[in-house]
Amino acid sequence: MEEKKIESKLVKAVKEKGGMCLKFVSPSMDGIPDRIVLLPGGRISFVETKATGKKMRPLQVRRKKQFEALGFSVYCLDEVEKVEELLNAIQTI
């Protein structure tokens, strides 16, 4: 499935849970995740969306590790069927 469709499903599902799914763009830093997911209860995570079967580039993996070292959760989402599972994981952080 196309990345755009997976990202769209994520945005819709986050809104349905009363949260926000912000597009994350940083002109000064490459390799950052596509979205910041903000859920009720102060839950925040970063999500990199990919087309089905695609993997994160090496720079994206390094950024993921940097964010995780700061205590943030970072997910890679490449299947529309995993959106609910991902949101459930974020809600239990």
User: What pLDDT does residue 14 have?
Assistant: 98
Contact 77, 50 (CB under 8 A): yes
User: pLDDT averaged over the chain?
Assistant: 97
Place of tokens 């809600």: 91
Hey, where are the domains in the chain? 3-91
User: What pLDDT does residue 71 have?
Assistant: 97
What tens digit of pLDDT does each residue of 37-57 get? 999 999 999 999 999 999 999
Bridge partners of 75? 47
Distance between CA atoms of 3 and 1, rounded to whole angstroms? Answer: 7
Nearest to 47 by CA among 83, 74, 26: 74
Q: Above pLDDT 90, what percent of the chain? A: 96
For residue 8, name the pLDDT band (cuts at 50, 70, 90). Answer: very high
Report, at the CATH architecture level, how domain 3-91 is classified: 3-Layer(aba) Sandwich (3.40)
| pLDDT of residue 93 exceeding 90 | no
